[in-house]
Amino acid sequence: MAYDYISRGKAKENGYTNTRVFKMFGVSSTGYYNYVSRREDRDGKQAAKEMDESHVIQCFKKIIKTLGFVPGKRTFRRHMFRRFNYNISVSRASGIMKKMQITAQLPKKDAYKGQATHHHECMAKPNLVNRNFKLGVRQVILTDITYIHYGYSRTPAYMCAFKDAYTTEILGHYVSGRMDVSLVQKAFNNMMENHKDEFPKNLEVYCHSDQGSQYLSTSFKQLLNENDFIQSMSRRGNSQDNAPMESFFGRMKTEVIDIIARCGDIDTVRRLIDGYINMHNNERYQDTLAALSPSEFYTYKVTGQYPLDNYYGVKASELMPLDKIIEAKLEMQEKRKQLRKERQKINEQQSRLLRNAGDIIMRDMKKMKDENRKWVKQQELVENQLKKISEIIEKISKALNFYFHEATAEVKKLLKDPLNWKNYPELDYYKDLDALY
């Protein structure tokens, strides 16, 4: 009712202020203005919010269509920034997914694992990598074999891949209908054809796999020796020793296994896998890779130049150099060290006070003197205030005597208007009241 009364101009016609209207209708000013804000927002911010949410949903649909599967909330976030230049939080991405009633496709355990290992432990190579996957760019190459099914009859096919553990880039792969040594050799040769010059010449390069018979074959060992690779193998029954490779296959199957099943022949499977690997290397933006794709991250580590013009909307030139950050951290550590020393000194002084009665008495005396000075100052202020009040009371007494005993009826009539008081010195006490307060 208050809103209608004000908005229709009735309050203005009757000369009422908004505050007066609020009292008339029994509403608070805060409640009124909140109501006005909500009412005006019906076609404003709320509509803009709904439009923005609709835009995000359409972008999510495009991402799903491009990838061919439903990714997780973090993947949605990265693609929104890289493809649509749109910043979205992980929690909001999760909320949009709930609204769209979609869930990320999660990887399942590979039922094939453990069936193609070598029969004797003594033939296996030692675990030289020992889960040190971040040794350096192109220094730890992981490899593994997985199976996939395609076609109406679920024909089995086998895929071997070689992955740089540092950049997560798939360097070489091959898909075959037979799981033999040639599968591994072709995948290895594919890697060397495209990336041979990228391996460091003066550092050790490891090729790490499980204890599969293909990797223990004489021909594959010879292939590694010819290219200066050091062979490393996971311990039997320890899939975590080759976790990044297992993770890649798990994610791949989760995302494209249903599409692979619709392939009519192995050539189609190969082309589909080629496209997926290309997407992984060039479009799978990862937070652990500085929000870059694996191939971009490799370029960044080799050249030292960040491939993007900005980092989540901030230009790279605006970011602090690493040496400045290190210098600031060292300076902060030094300040903390000095602060600890000062605290230690204070603690020692307090401890010493507890042992020395004379120091305690002197400390208490200092405290009381400080307290005394504070109250003496307060006392002076109170005395000055009381003196002023007494003087004003005396002036008011004289004003009362003037009004009731000396002022004429005509003067009393004039004094009804406070503006006339200034003409009578007997009533100038009000000036002292203003000065007092």
CB 78 within 8 A of CB 291: yes
Distance (Å, rounded) from C-alpha 170 to C-alpha 295? 9
Same domain, 347 and 405: no
Instruction: CATH number of the domain at 234, please.
Output: 3.30.420.10
DSSP 201: S
- Greater confidence (13 vs 60) lies with 60
Q: How many CB atoms lie within 10 A of CB 128?
A: 15
Q: Is 269 helix (H, G, I), strand (E, B) or coil?
A: helix
φ, ψ (nearest 5 deg) of residue 322: -60, -40
What is the tally of structural domains in the chain?
A: 4
pLDDT at 167: 93
Domain presence at residue 208 = yes
Residues 125 and 41 in one domain: no
The pLDDT tens digits of the residues spanning 65-86 come to 887 778 888 888 888 888 888 8
116 is a domain residue: no
Q: What is the mean pLDDT of residues 115-120?
A: 46
Given a cut of 90, whether residue 169 has pLDDT beyond it is yes
Q: Residue 108 above 80 pLDDT?
A: no
For range 421-434, the mean pLDDT: 82
Please tell me which residue, 429 or 177, carries the higher pLDDT value. Answer: 177
Residue 25 has pLDDT above 80, yes or no: no
Q: Do 305 and 394 have their domain in common?
A: no
204 close to 214: Cβ distance less than 8 angstroms? no
Residues 163 and 85 in one domain: no
- Are residue 302 and residue 326 in the same domain, yes or no? no
Domain that holds residue 391: 371-436
The structure tokens listed for 4 are 């209608």
Tell me the C-alpha distance between 346 and 90, whole Å: 46
pLDDT band at 329 (very low <50, low <70, confident <90, very high): confident
Residue (of 142, 144, 136, 143) closest to 204 by Cα position: 136
Q: At what angle do helices 357-401 and 322-355 cross, to 10 degrees?
A: 100
Among residues 355, 383, 408, the one where a domain terminates is 355
**Per-residue pLDDT reduced to its tens digit, 173-194:** 999 999 999 999 999 999 999 9
Residues 205-264 pLDDT 10s:
999 998 888 888 889 999 999 999 999 998 887 778 888 999 899 889 888 888 998 999
Q: Is residue 324 part of a domain?
A: yes
134 falls within a domain: yes
Give the type of residue at 220: F
**What pLDDT shows up at residue 168?**
93
Taken in order 388, 394, 395, 396, is the CA torsion positive or negative?
Answer: positive
Mean pLDDT (the chain, rounded):
82
Q: Using a pLDDT cut of 70, give the percent of the chain over it.
A: 82
Examine residue 113 and state whether it is found in any structural domain, yes or no. no
What is residue 384's predicted lDDT score, i.e. its pLDDT? 86
Asked which of 143-147, 317-321, 408-412 is least confident by mean pLDDT, the reply is 317-321
Q: Could you say which DSSP state residue 129 is in?
A: S
**pLDDT at res. 114:** 47
Please report which confidence band the pLDDT of residue 123 belongs to, taking 50, 70 and 90 as the band edges. low
Helix (H, G, I), strand (E, B) or coil at 105: coil
In a domain, 361, yes or no: no
Q: Is 317 helix (H, G, I), strand (E, B) or coil?
A: helix
118 or 127: whose pLDDT is higher? 127
Q: Which helix (H) or strand (E) holds 410?
A: helix 409-414
Measured CA distances, 127 to 133, 150, 207 (Å): 12, 34, 11
208 vs 224: CA distance, rounded Å: 11
The pLDDT assigned to 274 comes to 95
121 band by pLDDT with thresholds 50, 70 and 90: very low
Tell which residue, 72, 62, 79, has the closest CA to residue 97. 72
Residues 77 and 10 reside in one and the same domain = yes
Q: 347 with 235, same domain?
A: no
What's the whole-number mean pLDDT along residues 337-356? 78
Q: Distance between CA atoms of 212 and 222, rounded to whole angstroms?
A: 16
Using pLDDT thresholds of 50, 70 and 90, give the confidence band for residue 266. very high
Beta bridge partners of 173: 161
Residues 324 and 243 occupy one common structural domain: no
Judge contact between 109 and 173, C-beta under 8 A.
no
- How do 230-233 and 206-209 pair as beta strands? parallel
User: Does residue 12 share a domain with residue 71?
Assistant: yes
Does residue 114 form part of some domain?
Answer: no
What pLDDT, on the 0 to 100 scale, is given for residue 364?
A: 80
Residues 183 and 302 reside in one and the same domain: yes
Tell me, what amino acid is at 263? C
Q: How many other CB atoms are found less than 10 A from the CB of residue 62? A: 13
Cα(105)–Cα(70) distance, integer angstroms:
6
pLDDT digits (tens, 9 = 90+) for 83-102: 888 888 889 899 989 988 88
Give per-residue burial for 107-126: e unless 16+ CB within 10 Å, then b: beeeeebeebbbeeeeebbe
Average pLDDT for residues 324-338, to the nearest whole number?
81
Beta pairing class for 155-164 and 170-176: antiparallel
pLDDT at position 294:
92
**pLDDT value of position 4:** 66
Last residue of a domain, one of 331, 355, 379: 355
Say what the pLDDT of residue 230 is: 92
> Which has the closest alpha carbon to 211: 190, 193, 233?
233
User: Mean pLDDT lowest for which of 7-21, 52-66, 354-368?
Assistant: 7-21
- pTM above the 0.85 mark? no
* pLDDT for the residue numbered 286: 86
Indicate whether 290 and 329 sit together in one domain: no
pLDDT at 263: 92
143 pLDDT tier (thresholds 50, 70, 90): very high
Q: What is the pLDDT of residue 324?
A: 67
Residues 233, 167, single domain; the answer is yes
Tens of pLDDT along 280-297?
Answer: 999 888 888 888 899 988
The more confident residue out of 298 and 349 is 298
Surface-to-core class of residue 393, CB atoms within 10 Å of its CB (0-12 exposed, 13-18 middle, 19+ buried): exposed
**Cα separation of 278 and 281, whole Å?**
5
Instruction: Determine, yes or no, domain membership for 164.
Output: yes
